[in-house]
Amino acid sequence: MTTTGQRYQFRNSPHQLHPLQDVLDPHTVRELARVGVKPGARALDLGAGAGSITRHLATLVGPAGKVTAVDIDTCLLDPTAVIDVYQRDLRAEPIPTTGDGYDIITARCLLEHLPNRAELLQQMIHLLRPSGWLVLGEIVYSRVLVHRAPTESDTALITRVVHTILDTLTHRGVDLHWGETTPALLLAAGMNHVQAHSHTETWTGGGPGCALYANNTHQLHDQLTDTGLTPGDLDRFTELMSDPHVVVSSYQFTTTHAQKPDPSPPR
Ligand SMILES: C[S@@+](CC[C@H](N)C(=O)[O-])C[C@H]1O[C@@H](n2cnc3c(N)ncnc32)[C@H](O)[C@@H]1O
């Protein structure tokens, strides 16, 4: 196997993926309810991470359905009678297929990280059955707002650290504008019912969102200190992210769904 392009910037750990799930699951679950997932359906969850959406899909498709979960790192994914788990590097290996395709395909916070994101999107559309749904979710670059912090220098530090996380990811090949372009790509591919929803919220110190910010700085520690932030800055940032007095804006999260046309609808 040959792999191409940049490597994924994070390590999968419950400290990162559980807070991510806590803040994003309500949006993805709402999106799946919007499109409707029927018992018996075949679902595919790409870049399944710690599997909360895989498991939610399994409850929606029920015992007569099947969920295929795929990730380069499957250490946090458990197979069941309904859930099949595949370890794949989606930069270089094909998406696992089932007989005649999938009724629903999800990929949350995956495609922005992968250099072959546009090709993967086309493959996902190809693997959908007629009338099948695609549900995508991405972090999109946005300005952070600090609504409350102990001091003005803490406000400046939080602003600087969060923007430096986003800039560092961008410099390492993560496309934080990808989520803004997916509706146009889906429309150009002939998909129907293309809809995007963007969301930001407030995150409070000590909550899951701030735990996610803190974990991202731990994982990117060396890259962030290369930009001029000091280890002391990052320690103070971690302290602030567990202080319930602190209130900041979240990452922007954009979900997009679209339905594959059925060329032969029932008469
Ligand atoms: C930010 S996490 C999102 C996890 C999950 N979708 C969620 O939203 O809770 C990105 C996931 O993509 C996976 N990933 C990164 N690069 C990958 C690759 N080349 N092939 C397959 N999966 C990859 C990571 O292992 C990780 O589980």
Which ligand 1 atom minimizes the distance to the CA of 24? 8
Q: Walk along the chain (267 residues) and give the pLDDT tens digit of each residue.
A: 445 567 788 888 898 999 999 999 999 999 999 999 999 999 999 999 999 999 999 999 999 999 999 999 999 999 999 999 999 999 999 999 988 899 999 999 999 999 999 999 999 999 999 999 999 999 999 999 999 999 999 999 999 999 999 999 999 999 999 999 999 999 999 999 999 999 999 999 999 999 999 999 999 999 999 999 999 999 999 999 999 999 999 999 999 999 999 987 666
- Residue 213 CA to residue 238 CA, distance in Å, equals 8
- Residue 187 CA to residue 116 CA, distance in Å, equals 19
Q: Are 106 and 44 in contact (CB under 8 A)?
A: yes
- Structural domain total, the chain: 2
Q: Residue type at 78?
A: D
Which ligand 1 atom minimizes the distance to the CA of 137? 8
| 123/36 same-domain check | yes
242: alpha, beta or left? (left if phi > 0; alpha if psi -120 to 50):
alpha
What token pair was written down for 12? 């999968």
Q: Is the CB of 108 under 6 A from ligand 1?
A: yes
What residue owns the CA closest to ligand 1's atom 4? 49
Domain containing 259 equals 1-141+176-200+252-267
87: alpha, beta or left? (left if phi > 0; alpha if psi -120 to 50):
beta
| 156/68 same-domain check | no
| 40/80 same-domain check | yes
What token pair was written down for 75? 């250490």
CATH number of the CATH domain containing 185? 3.40.50.150
Ligand 1: distance of its center to the CA of 47 in Å? 4
Q: Is the CB of 67 under 6 A from ligand 1?
A: no
What residue owns the CA closest to ligand 1's atom 5? 49
